[in-house]
Amino acid sequence: DVKVTQSSRYLVKRTGEKVFLECVQDMDHENMFWYRQDPGLGLRLIYFSYDVKMKEKGDIPEGYSVSREKKERFSLILESASTNQTSMYLCASSGSKGRALKAFFGQGTRLTVV
Amino acid sequence: DQQVKQNSPSLSVQEGRISILNCDYTNSMFDYFLWYKKYPAEGPTFLISISSIKDKNEDGRFTVFLNKSAKHLSLHIVPSQPGDSAVYFCAAEETSGSRLTFGEGTQLTVNP
């Protein structure tokens, strides 16, 4: 089975802190994604990457950056955390070249910014 | 601009009956559609998918129907079980690929 692992289940950070969310997948997948889930808004794409050192902006990239130094690892960085970034963050990966298709998700990180 | 829309935030059905979850889309370039199921404090898990060249795909108790002319898809669960209680997300991908666009989700509650 594909395993997508996010480093933390729950995080509490202070406003203005730099926050790192880590994601690792073990299936040699090309594509990796970061989404956030908010009630009534569904899952919104923040950033994605289809290759090492490549990144593309999703629908809501403002306030975030990403890093993909190795194929299996995709990090989401909140440069200066704000309370409106309190959310559930979900990492996903998929193996189809150039297509998301059937993406596999991690267990999520519930981030609270106080 | 919400390209994938699930108009019902919640649905409640009795155990053993049929659950029908609906999804509408606006982007004609979508060619692949998926349903994901999500329990609280867990990531979404893939349930079933359908390509735009088909109008129906079945997997056990789950069937997805696609009506391209109406830009509408639905997920049927028969018979519904209490363990099916979860949030269901509809998702779609364009022909050009590389990303999934999700709907808002529908909370399904199956009552014993």
| Cα B61 from Cα A86, distance rounded (Å) | 36
Residue B13 in this model has a pLDDT that exceeds 70: yes
Label residue A24 left, alpha or beta by phi (over 0 means left) and psi (-120 to 50 means alpha): beta
Q: Which residues pair with A105 in a beta bridge?
A: A92
Mean pLDDT of chain A: 93
Q: Could you tell me what percent of chain A has a pLDDT over 90?
A: 79
Give the span between the Cα atoms of A4 and A91, in whole angstroms.
7
Query: Is B28 in contact with A88 (CB distance < 8 Å)?
Result: no
Q: Which residues of B touch A99 (CB under 8 A)?
A: 32, 93, 97-98
Read off the pLDDT of residues A81-109 as tens digits, 9 standing for 90 and up: 999 999 999 999 998 776 777 889 999 99
DSSP-based three-state secondary structure for B82: helix
Count other Cβ atoms within 10 Å, centred on residue A29: 20
- For residues B57 and B48, the answer to whether their CB atoms sit within 8 Å is yes
Chain A: give the shortest CA distance to residue B21, in Å.
15
Q: Is B39 in CB contact (< 8 Å) with chain A?
A: no
Nearest to A102 among B4, B41, B49 (CB): B49
Residue B95's pLDDT band (boundaries 50, 70, 90)?
confident
Q: Is A90 on the interface with B (CB under 8 A)?
A: yes
Six token digits for residue A41: 């808004």
